């Protein structure tokens, strides 16, 4: 059973547990619960359970102070809204909120109070995410040290919810970072200890947990970003990865596009869901394998990016396509960094992988690469922030250390025949070593200090690398009794590969699915106060996202946020109708801050075209100020005096 089906059954079981004397029920949800419910079921599933506007009310809500406040407001009204209330919290209710709920005077009785342990988002059948975009920034930012305990406890709480929902009390193994620096972070150890404590407490208070099962005891691996730093940097050529990189896909599955008919332009929306058998089959295939099923322009993309991608693979794997150690990477990189058609993001990715490959660069070499790439000081600071992930960025002149050794030695990557897809994430090697029974307990100790014997699945089902993956049958008895392997955090594609190749159902958890298409654009405006700033943001971004983004990324404290949907000017179509139409709208936000906002300095040494554009924009802004104030700006008078003086 997939994760989506498991979560769906939990909600339906909670609904069916409430049977009022009148068959109809009212269902009330908050934002978090609504998003989870909408992702795992549709409205018809609710209606089939007799959920409608009548007497008894069922609340699916998150245990927050504001939520409890609204519930108490509903129960305390003199005129009864419902005959009874049933509360289902998607996560554990704290003692403080529970006391507040019980001690308040209520007119409407609360018949049921239950904790569902569903405070995670089932993104796909084998993937869950916690949708916390700032967890990574909090854990690895030295200025957020006081928040680390709160963040690790929150992650452990959500991981416990996943295990409880799956009915698993796993053996917890965590990545023990082989670092000699006592100040290096040990998040995996802390999360593993907190998770073990929470699962033990839940087992002690629930005699039927874990439920009896024919499966072997599951195992949960906890790793962090320092385990495999190259994996998030290397872009893949699989179908799903390229679609999210190149197309404006919302929430990883909604894609809107337009088609032109003879008389009008029609908007369409495609849902990339697992119910689509074609999408489920080819999403993790290499784009060249998927090209026979879908229309695309992969050959052009491959030709334009082959040199860059080849350098990426050489740095990430430390070997050329012939299996030799590359000796001319730097000489081959410089023309790519000088290429103006290559984006700045790709140049930063390439330099990052080169730093990891060389185990640090001399300061002079880093300055030269930054100059070739035309990187700003802010971009260089991004490179230097790799130090927070355990990567040495700057090495001393008398350094004699060799290249960075891999944490786990990978085997021969023979199943991948594509030259530009040679990189193998370490998660894959981790799974293989565990399945083969040779994963080190020194590198991955257990919270219970018990060395369990691992079932050698490879000996039963053949080689993991040479065996061709096949789709598993739904009612396969071996599959139903196989051991569960859970990984936090991991790479989605690998989970589906091993599910097809070796039978055991894998689950993985992640803090957030990061997509490279969220851009905040700073807008200059002469009408704003010094403590205000305007941004152009994606239309899906809300006020809370803006506030959190500015605080966690730039340490800017925001007092108030205003947002508005802006519609562009009408333009004429290019077809024969020449009708007026609007392009897609965008969202503009204006934030009020505690401290005055300092705009970035304007670039100097602009080429003639950019200089004319910048000067024209400045004059246009001054004319706007003049029209609004109905008087000539003081700076214009000074410029006129200088011009007259030069003429004389």
Q: How many CB atoms lie within 10 A of CB 227?
A: 23
Write down the pLDDT at residue 589: 92
Please tell me the distance from the alpha carbon of residue 2 to that of residue 166, in angstroms, as a whole number: 10
pLDDT above 60 (res 492): no
pLDDT above 80 (res 372): yes
The three-state secondary structure class of 344 is: helix
- Asked if 529 and 593 sit in the same domain, the reply is yes
User: Do the Cβ atoms of 612 and 623 come closer than 8 Å?
Assistant: no
Instruction: State the angle between helix axes of 344-358 and 298-317 in degrees (0 to 180), rounded to the nearest 10.
Output: 30
Percent of the chain with pLDDT over 70: 65
- Asked if 472 and 552 sit in the same domain, the reply is no
Please tell me the distance from the alpha carbon of residue 314 to that of residue 310, in angstroms, as a whole number: 6
Query: What percent of the chain is helix, strand and coil (3-state, nearest 5)?
Result: 40, 15, 45
Residue 480, domain member (yes or no): yes
Least confident stretch, 17-21, 605-609, 643-647: 605-609
CATH number at residue 548: 3.30.70.330
Taking only the tens place, the pLDDT of each residue in 181-229 is: 444 567 888 889 999 999 998 888 888 888 888 888 888 888 888 888 8
- Number of domains within the chain: 6
Taking only the tens place, the pLDDT of each residue in 255-297 is: 787 777 656 677 777 777 776 767 777 777 777 777 766 655 4
Residue 235, domain member (yes or no): no
The strand pair at 254-260 and 85-89 is best described as unpaired
Look at the block and give the residue holding tokens 């593993």.
192
Non-local (6+) Cβ contacts of 179 within 8 A are: 390
CATH number at residue 265: 3.90.830.10
Write down the pLDDT at residue 463: 43
Residue 515, domain member (yes or no): no
Non-local (6+) Cβ contacts of 347 within 8 A are: 336, 337, 373, 375
pLDDT above 70 (res 338): yes
User: Do the Cβ atoms of 71 and 112 come closer than 8 Å?
Assistant: no
Q: How many CB atoms lie within 10 A of CB 475?
A: 7
The encoded tokens of residue 310 equal 């080849």
Non-local (6+) Cβ contacts of 311 within 8 A are: 329, 332, 333, 336, 350
Q: How many CB atoms lie within 10 A of CB 181?
A: 8
Instruction: State the angle between helix axes of 426-436 and 492-502 in degrees (0 to 180), rounded to the nearest 10.
Output: 30
pLDDT bucket at 470, cuts 50 / 70 / 90:
very low
Percent of the chain with pLDDT over 90: 2
Please state the φ and ψ torsions of residue 256, each to the nearest 5 degrees.
-105, 135
Please tell me the distance from the alpha carbon of residue 2 to that of residue 35, in angstroms, as a whole number: 18
The dihedral of CA 14, 16, 17, 21: what is its sign?
positive
pLDDT above 60 (res 322): yes
- Asked if 568 and 596 sit in the same domain, the reply is yes
pLDDT above 50 (res 506): no
Write down the pLDDT at residue 321: 64
- Mean pLDDT score of the chain: 74
pLDDT above 80 (res 159): yes
Higher pLDDT, 369 or 500: 369
Higher pLDDT, 136 or 422: 136
- The helix (run of H) or strand (run of E) holding residue 507 is strand 506-510
Mean pLDDT of the region 5-31: 79
Taking Cα atoms as reference points, which of 539, 541, 522 lies closest to residue 585? 539
Which pTM does this prediction carry? 0.52
b vs e for 112-132, b when ≥16 Cβ sit within 10 Å of the residue's Cβ?
A: eeebbbbbbbbbbbbbbbbbb
- Asked if 99 and 133 sit in the same domain, the reply is no
Mean pLDDT of the region 522-544: 81
- Asked if 312 and 404 sit in the same domain, the reply is yes
Write down the pLDDT at residue 47: 61
Residue 274, domain member (yes or no): yes
Residue 289, domain member (yes or no): no
The encoded tokens of residue 329 equal 């990477």
Mean pLDDT of the region 79-95: 82
User: Do the Cβ atoms of 386 and 395 come closer than 8 Å?
Assistant: no
Residue 516, domain member (yes or no): no
The encoded tokens of residue 8 equal 């769906």
CATH number at residue 178: 3.40.50.1910
Among 216, 248, 283, which residue terminates a domain? 283
DSSP 501: H
CATH number at residue 58: 3.40.50.2060
Write down the pLDDT at residue 507: 45
Look at the block and give the residue holding tokens 């200025």.
143
Taking only the tens place, the pLDDT of each residue in 437-468 is: 888 888 888 887 766 655 554 444 444 444 34
Residue 60, domain member (yes or no): yes
Write down the pLDDT at residue 281: 74
DSSP 238: B
Taking only the tens place, the pLDDT of each residue in 541-562 is: 888 778 877 776 666 788 889 9
pLDDT above 60 (res 152): yes
- Asked if 94 and 40 sit in the same domain, the reply is yes
- Asked if 528 and 489 sit in the same domain, the reply is no
Residue 574, domain member (yes or no): yes
Residues forming a β-bridge with 496: none
Helical spans, DSSP H, in 484-591: 492-502, 543-554
Write down the pLDDT at residue 523: 79
Non-local (6+) Cβ contacts of 543 within 8 A are: 561, 563, 589
- Asked if 224 and 245 sit in the same domain, the reply is no
Among 510, 541, 564, which residue terminates a domain? 510
Mean pLDDT of the region 338-344: 83
Residues forming a β-bridge with 506: 485
pLDDT above 70 (res 51): no
Mean pLDDT of the region 12-27: 76
Taking Cα atoms as reference points, which of 6, 24, 3 lies closest to residue 15? 24
The three-state secondary structure class of 597 is: coil
Q: Find the Cα–Cα–Cα–Cα dihedral 60, 66, 68, 70, rounded to 10°.
A: -80
- Asked if 466 and 504 sit in the same domain, the reply is yes
Q: Which domain holds residue 396?
A: 294-418
User: What count of Cα atoms within 13 Å lies in the side-chain half-sphere of residue 545?
Assistant: 16
Q: How many CB atoms lie within 10 A of CB 276?
A: 13
Among 393, 418, 443, which residue terminates a domain? 418
Look at the block and give the residue holding tokens 């300055």.
367
Write down the pLDDT at residue 631: 53
- Asked if 266 and 299 sit in the same domain, the reply is no
- Asked if 393 and 451 sit in the same domain, the reply is no
Mean pLDDT of the region 393-403: 76
Q: How far is CA 493 from the centre of its chain?
A: 15
Q: How many helices (H) and strands (E) does the chain have?
A: 23, 19
The strand pair at 570-572 and 580-582 is best described as antiparallel
- Asked if 264 and 355 sit in the same domain, the reply is no
b vs e for 539-554, b when ≥16 Cβ sit within 10 Å of the residue's Cβ?
A: eebeeebbbebbebee
User: Do the Cβ atoms of 520 and 535 come closer than 8 Å?
Assistant: yes
Least confident stretch, 133-137, 196-200, 469-473, 477-481: 469-473
Please tell me the distance from the alpha carbon of residue 110 to that of residue 99, in angstroms, as a whole number: 14
């Amino acid at each position: 059973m997939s994760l989506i089906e498991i979560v769906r059954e939990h909600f339906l079981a909670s609904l069916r547990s409430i049977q009022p004397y009148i068959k109809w029920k009212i269902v009330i949800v908050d934002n978090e619960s609504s998003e989870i419910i909408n992702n795992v079921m549709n409205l018809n599933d609710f209606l089939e359970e007799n959920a409608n506007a009548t007497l008894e009310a069922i609340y699916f809500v998150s245990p927050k102070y504001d939520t409890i406040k609204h519930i108490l407001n509903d129960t305390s009204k003199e005129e009864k809204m419902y005959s009874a209330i049933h509360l289902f919290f998607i996560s554990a209710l704290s003692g403080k909120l529970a006391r507040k709920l019980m001690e308040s005077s209520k007119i409407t009785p609360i018949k049921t109070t239950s904790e569902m342990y569903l405070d995670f988002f089932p993104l796909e059948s084998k993937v869950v995410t916690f949708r916390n975009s700032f967890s990574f920034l909090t854990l690895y930012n030295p200025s957020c040290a006081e928040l680390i305990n709160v963040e690790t406890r929150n992650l452990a709480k959500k991981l416990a919810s996943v295990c409880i929902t799956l009915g698993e009390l796993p053996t917890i193994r965590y990545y023990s970072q082989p670092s000699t620096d006592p100040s290096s972070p040990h998040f995996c150890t802390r999360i593993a200890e907190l998770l073990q404590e929470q699962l033990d407490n839940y087992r002690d208070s629930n005699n039927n947990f874990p439920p009896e099962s024919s499966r072997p005891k599951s195992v949960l691996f906890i790793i962090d970003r320092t385990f495999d730093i190259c994996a998030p940097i290397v872009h893949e050529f699989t179908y799903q990865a390229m679609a999210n990189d190149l197309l404006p896909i919302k929430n990883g599955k909604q894609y809107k596009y337009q088609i032109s008919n003879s008389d009008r332009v029609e908007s369409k929306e495609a849902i990339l869901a697992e119910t689509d058998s074609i999408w489920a089959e080819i999403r993790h295939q290499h784009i060249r394998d998927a090209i026979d099923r879908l229309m695309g322009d992969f050959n052009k993309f491959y030709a334009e990016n082959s040199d860059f991608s080849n350098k990426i693979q050489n740095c990430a794997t430390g070997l050329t396509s012939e299996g030799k150690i590359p000796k001319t990477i730097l000489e081959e990189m410089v023309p790519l960094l000088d290429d103006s058609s290559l984006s700045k993001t790709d140049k930063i990715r390439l330099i990052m992988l080169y730093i990891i490959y060389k185990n640090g660069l001399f300061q002079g070499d880093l300055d030269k690469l930054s100059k070739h790439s035309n990187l700003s000081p802010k971009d260089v600071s991004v490179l230097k922030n790799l130090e927070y992930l355990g990567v040495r960025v700057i090495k001393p002149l008398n350094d004699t250390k060799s290249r960075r050794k891999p944490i786990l030695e990978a085997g021969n990557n023979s199943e991948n025949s594509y030259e530009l897809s040679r990189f193998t994430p370490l998660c894959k090697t981790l799974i293989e070593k565990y399945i083969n029974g040779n994963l080190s307990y020194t590198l991955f100790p257990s919270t219970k200090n018990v060395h369990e014997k691992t079932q050698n699945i490879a000996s039963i089902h053949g080689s993991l690398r040479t065996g061709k993956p096949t789709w598993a049958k739904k009612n396969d008895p071996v599959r139903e009794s196989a051991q569960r392997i859970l990984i936090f955090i991991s790479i989605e594609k690998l989970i589906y590969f091993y599910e097809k190749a070796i039978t055991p159902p894998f689950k993985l958890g992640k803090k957030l699915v990061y997509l490279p298409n969220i851009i905040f654009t700073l807008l200059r405006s002469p009408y704003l106060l010094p403590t205000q700033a305007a941004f152009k943001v994606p239309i899906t971004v809300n006020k809370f996202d803006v506030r959190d983004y500015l605080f966690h990324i730039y340490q800017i404290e925001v007092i108030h946020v205003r947002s508005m949907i802006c519609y562009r000017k009408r333009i004429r179509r290019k077809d024969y109708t020449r009708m007026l139409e609007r392009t897609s709208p965008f969202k503009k936000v204006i934030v009020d801050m505690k401290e005055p906002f300092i705009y970035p300095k304007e670039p100097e040494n602009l080429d003639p075209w950019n200089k004319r554009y910048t000067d024209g924009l400045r004059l246009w802004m001054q004319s706007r100020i003049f029209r609004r104030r109905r008087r000539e700006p003081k700076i214009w008078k000074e410029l006129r005096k200088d011009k007259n003086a030069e003429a004389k």
